[in-house]
Structure 1
Amino acid sequence: MNKKILFLIQQAGLLLQMPRSHVRNLGTAFDTVASHSHHASIIAYCLARMEKLNHEEAMKALSMAAFHDLAEGRTGDLDFVSKNYTKDDEEQAIKDQFKNIDFGADLEKLLKEYNERKTLISKCAKDADSLAQMYHEWVLTWRGNKLAQQWFEGDFIARVPYFDTKSAKKLAFAMKDSNPNEWWWDEFVAKDGEAKTKKHLLGKNYSNKKKK
């Protein structure tokens, strides 16, 4: 077995423990670099399909988003302030991570396409990265974080207009008009506020027939 593969997996594992750097500015956060990449990868697939790409193309966008921050296992995650004074060598980190791995060249090529941002696939992946960040700010806003609210509202001026895909813009505005619990409220609660499946609230012996 090529131990470099094990080492790559170990570096990916570091991201499970690495809080994203925005926590020092927002004060609270619930994500890590790894959870952010996972969420971005799901969003990337959805965006690609919304942009009429096929399943294989969408899976490529998903892969880009899944790997896009892997280099941070070596460079760390620089926040907006730090990036003004510190330059990480992400390109070299990527080369070192994939060196002497049989499929390393394929992953380098994938991330090169992502970073060049010329293809629709890579644009979907990047927009997904941004939407995942906005999602985090949005949830924190609903939890009462005023700093996150300022970031989220500011993104509609400084970030959303520059998205490369119309689908990402649509999702951003849909998010703004929603709330983090809407998905289950819509599925399990009727318009009149009554639970659609009361047995989960009141027990299995509950009768759906209203008492007169």
Structure 2
Amino acid sequence: MTRIADLLFEVRMLKDLNRTGYAFLGAGEESIAEHCFSTAFLCFVMARLEPGVDAEKLISMALVHDAAEARTGDLNYVHKQYNTVDEPHAVSDLIHGLEWAKNISELIEEFNQGETREAQLANDADQLSLMLELKKLKDLGATSPESWLPFVVDRLRTDTGKQLAREILGTRWDEWWTRGYSE
């Protein structure tokens, strides 16, 4: 059980580590854990929109896709041009001694390969999570998200991801509470 506690504390570190791309954006901030939660919730929604996908696998993939960043940190697109991360090694150390945890490395590998339907949806959810943050910043008056949003849209691969992107881009971030859905 000590090894499980170690794993839980390691993954908990994602709450304390911020995503680094926001420094280049000049606005906003988000922890890796916040990003993973948003991505996982998007996958929960996508699983309901995509009959036949393995919902548990899709959501699990989103939960663990950035787990190695507890060891490697978050490298944004600029950092990745100059640094190489040994993610398989970091994941191996993350799950060391936990036979059942090999599923984590399998999920991360499937996510990175992006070949299965679940991996494609999870990758789109990863991008849509960023899009939600960028759209909020744009709605609040930041100008830099405008130049980033087209790149995020271009990375979407599934029809479901593209449809959600259109809705996100066409909706103000704070409209949900003014719609008055209660009866």
TM over 0.5: yes
Q: TM-score range by the shorter chain?
A: over 0.9
Alignment map for 1:1-212 (pairs within 5 Å):
1=1, 3-53=2-52, 57-152=54-149, 154-155=150-151, 159-187=152-180
State the percentage of identical aligned residues: 30
Q: CA RMSD in A?
A: 1.7
Q: CA deviation at 1:108?
A: 1.6
CA displacement 1:40-63 (0-9 Å, x = unmatched): 001012123212235xx1121011
User: 8 Å contact 1:137–1:148 — kept in the other structure?
Assistant: yes
Q: Distance in 2 between matches of 1:22 and 1:171?
A: 22
Q: CA deviation at 1:138?
A: 0.7
Higher alpha-carbon Rg: 1
Q: How many matched pairs?
A: 183
Runs of 4+ with deviation above 4 angstroms: none
**TM-score relative to the length of structure 1:** 0.81
Q: CA deviation at 1:16?
A: 0.5
Q: Distance in 1 between matches of 2:109 and 2:55?
A: 17
Runs of 5+ consecutive residues of structure 1 not aligned to the other structure: 189-195, 198-212
Q: Distance in 2 between matches of 1:173 and 1:79?
A: 25
User: 8 Å contact 1:40–1:66 — kept in the other structure?
Assistant: yes
Runs of 5+ consecutive residues of structure 2 not aligned to the other structure: none
Q: Distance in 2 between matches of 1:164 and 1:48?
A: 16
3-state SS in 2 of match to 1:105? helix
